[in-house]
Every structure is written in C-alpha cells, then in structure tokens.
Structure 1
Amino acid sequence: MRPLVWVLVVLVVLAVVAAVAWTVMQGRRRAALQSRFGPEYDRAVAQSGDRRSAESQLAELADRRDQLDVRDLDPEAKARYDTQWAGVQARFVDEPGQAVADADGLVTAVMRDRGYPVEDFSERAAMLSTDHADVVEHYRAAHDAHARHMQAGAADTEDLRQAFVHYRSLYGALTGTVADADVRHPADDATHSPYVVDARDGSAPDGSTWSTDEALGRREVRP
C-alpha cells in the first residue's frame, strides 16, 4: 500500500476516534448539567430553543458559581435567622403583605451572609439554580407575587399565602431549617377546606385553634 494511502487511513481513524471522544464528552457534560440543574436544565433548553446554546449558558453559570466563596451559616447566625423567621411567620396571620416583604428581605440577607451575589434578582435566582434547582422556581413565583403586591396591590391574600410558602421552601433550602415535606403545592387543601381560620385569634368555627404553620399550610386565613 502506498504511503499516501496509509496516511489517509490513519487520518480517517483519528477522525473517527476524535468524533467518538467528542460525543462521549458531550454526553458526560450533558449528564452532569442535567444532574446539577434538574428542572432548570429543561427550562433553559425550552427558553433557548437550542440545546447546545442552553448547555453552554448553564456551563458558564456553573463556572461562575463555582468561583464564589459560598459557605454555610455559622451556628450563631443560623440561630439568629431562625428566630427572625419564626417572627416573620407569626406575623403573616395579621399582616400577610408585610410578612411576605420581610420574608423576601430575610432570604436575601441569608444569601448575602452565605456569599451569594444579591444586587440583582435575576442573578440571585441564577446562582440559586446551580445549588438549589429544586426550589428556585419557588423563589421566582414568590418574588413575582411580592412585586405585584408592592407595585399595585394586585396580590390577594391567597397569592400572598402561596408566596410565603414558596419563601419558606427557599429559606429551608438555604438554612436546612424547614423540611421539604412542610411545603405544599399552591393548589393544596387550603382552598378546599370548609374551615376558615380567624387571624385575630387563630380559631376555627368549631372553637379549636390552629398554629401559625397550620394556618399557612392547611387552611385559608381570614385577614
């Protein structure tokens, strides 16, 4: 066989090997992004309309996050925030709008303390998606309801209750304080219950009383 033919054969083999290696690397990269971002991966692909472009954006986002010095809260800070959160949650019954605003501020403070960028909401949500992809959509929904309430008072009590439950989910993910099981879907049994909790004393029509958590997660709150 002529030397030129051998060269061509070698080049073809190398091209095939390179193509296989590239395919394997892309598959591993995709699997890593899907594992890290979960539902955010599908969201990015749907928004972009192009899988490769979405994956490049997610990879860049992951690189930016990995360059941050994100740390756990120290025990004293966590205890302080847990105390503040308990106060915010208790306030919801009488002042749902203010409680949601306070929850938004408290979540932002926790993020700042842990080392996340907090100057812009879009950036906060993007960074959270790299570590807490399972709850970042809670954050977007809560922030949207909070913004509507602040701008035009368009969010009703049920919107605010749902927003607070979303904030509770995110706060739990950031601090490890609230179990995921405590967070209910917005279409939970609160809208189907025959009971209405009186916000003034937490009582139900049958005379029983409900805790703040039960009022938030299980029954409609009467302002």
Structure 2
Amino acid sequence: MTTAIIIIAVVAVAAVAAFFLLRGRHNGGRGLRSRFGPEYDRVVARHGGDTEAAERELGDRVRRHGNLDERPLTEEARARYAARWASAQELFVESPERALTEADALLADLSRERGFPDGEDFEDRTDALSVHHAAHVDGYRRIHTARHGDADTEERREALIEGRKLFDALLAGGSSGREHGNRHLVKGRGTS
C-alpha cells in the first residue's frame, strides 16, 4: 500500500513538472514572438519552420546583446547624422547605388556610436540591433542587400524608406526591443 502511494505521488509530481515545463516553453516562444515581431518570423523561415531552432537563436541573441546599453548622442552628432542622411536621400536621384552605399555606411557608423558591435561583421551588428530595434532592423538588411544585389530602382527606394525607420529610432535614442511591441518613446515627443 505504501509503495502504491509513493508511485502515485511520483507520477503526480512528474505530471505537474511536465505541465509547467511545457507551459514555460510555450510562453517563452510567445515572449520571443512579441519581442522580435517580424524578425521572429524571418528567423523561423530561415530555419525552415523549426520554431525551436529559431527560438534558440533568438534566445542566444538576447543573452549576447540584451544588456547592451545604448550610448546617447550629442546634439552635434545628431545634426551630423541627420545631414548625412539628407545627403544620401538627395543622392538617390542621381545614383541610387551610391545613396544606398552611403545609407549602409551611415547606419553602421550610427549604430557603432550608439554602442552596438562594430567591425565588419554585418550579421553580428544586425543581430544586436534586432534585440533592441526588432521592428526596424529589416530595413537595414534591405539596404545592405539592395546595395549588393540586382535590385531595381523601386526596390532600392523602398529599402531606403524602410532603413530610414531604423535611422530615426537610433537617432532619437529609443530602444524598441526592450519595450514589447517594438515601439520606442522619445522623451518629450511622445511615441514615434
């Protein structure tokens, strides 16, 4: 009789533990989906629909880059970057390729100055940016890809427009990855 009670207790504890383990894994995926938004779907697709592999990758990104503190920009730096972006947009009419090259370099410089990984590793930089600016990092990828690919003028124009969203978020100083829903607040100006 005592053995039967012990076996029933062990089975009950195992069932409860399994329930909470599965529930926790499910909620973790929802948390990552909420935090990364479209980036979550992009990573799942890149892993051939394997959500567990995608969630491992995204979880690794959060562990590596989640504690990164974005450095503030001086007003002079903001003005310098804003002027560079305006020049890149104006250059688009004459040379879309050169405009995207400038926008790509500008986003690399701006993200580096804000404290994101520097160097030549585009993927590491975009991984870090995706943790803090998931809603906008795809625009940066589109600029980088259109610059190096066979994109037509319309695709390049759309890439520049999408990349502007990350530029604005970095320039404003918002950290959208930490604010679920990928929105950033700009002090004194509300939500942008």
CA shift for structure 1 position 33: 0.4
The alignment status of 1:124 with 2:125, answered yes or no, reads: yes
Q: How far apart in 2 are the matches of 1:34 and 1:128?
A: 16
Match of 1:109 in 2: 109
Match of 1:168 in 2: 164
Runs of 4+ residues deviating >6 angstroms:
none
CA shift for structure 1 position 64: 0.8
SS of the equivalent of 1:72 reads coil
Instruction: Tell me: CA distance 1:87–1:62, structure 2 relative to 1, closer, same or farther (3 Å).
Output: same
Match of 2:98 in 1: 98
Match of 2:40 in 1: 41
Specify which structure has the bigger relative contact order, considering alpha-carbon pairs within 8 angstroms and separated by 6 or more residues. Answer: 2
SS of the equivalent of 2:94 reads coil
Decide which moves more: 81-90 or 7-16: 81-90
SS of the equivalent of 1:116 reads coil
CA shift for structure 1 position 155: 4.3
Match of 1:3 in 2: 2
Decide which moves more: 12-21 or 43-52: 43-52
Match of 2:17 in 1: 18
CA shift for structure 1 position 21: 1.4
Q: How far apart in 1 are the matches of 2:56 and 2:114?
A: 26
SS of the equivalent of 1:92 reads helix
Q: How far apart in 1 are the matches of 2:155 and 2:39?
A: 24
Q: How far apart in 2 are the matches of 1:125 and 1:14?
A: 43
Q: Which amino acid aligns with 1:55?
A: E
Q: How far apart in 1 are the matches of 2:35 and 2:77?
A: 27
Identity in percent: 40
**Structure 1 gaps, min length 5:** 149-153, 178-223
Q: Which protein shows a greater Rg?
A: 1
CA shift for structure 1 position 81: 1.2
**Structure 2 gaps, min length 5:** 174-192
The alignment yields a C-alpha RMSD, in angstroms, of 2.1
Q: What are the superposed Cα offsets for residues 62-95 of structure 1, whole Å, 9 maximum, x if unpaired?
A: 1111143333323332222112222222232233
Match of 1:28 in 2: 27
Q: Which amino acid aligns with 2:7?
A: L
CA shift for structure 1 position 15: 0.6
On the 8 A contact 2:104/2:140 being kept in 1, the answer is: no
Instruction: Tell me: CA distance 1:44–1:164, structure 2 relative to 1, closer, same or farther (3 Å).
Output: closer
Match of 1:145 in 2: 146
TM-score (norm 2): 0.79
CA shift for structure 1 position 112: 0.3
Q: Which amino acid aligns with 1:158?
A: E
Q: How far apart in 2 are the matches of 1:159 and 1:31?
A: 32
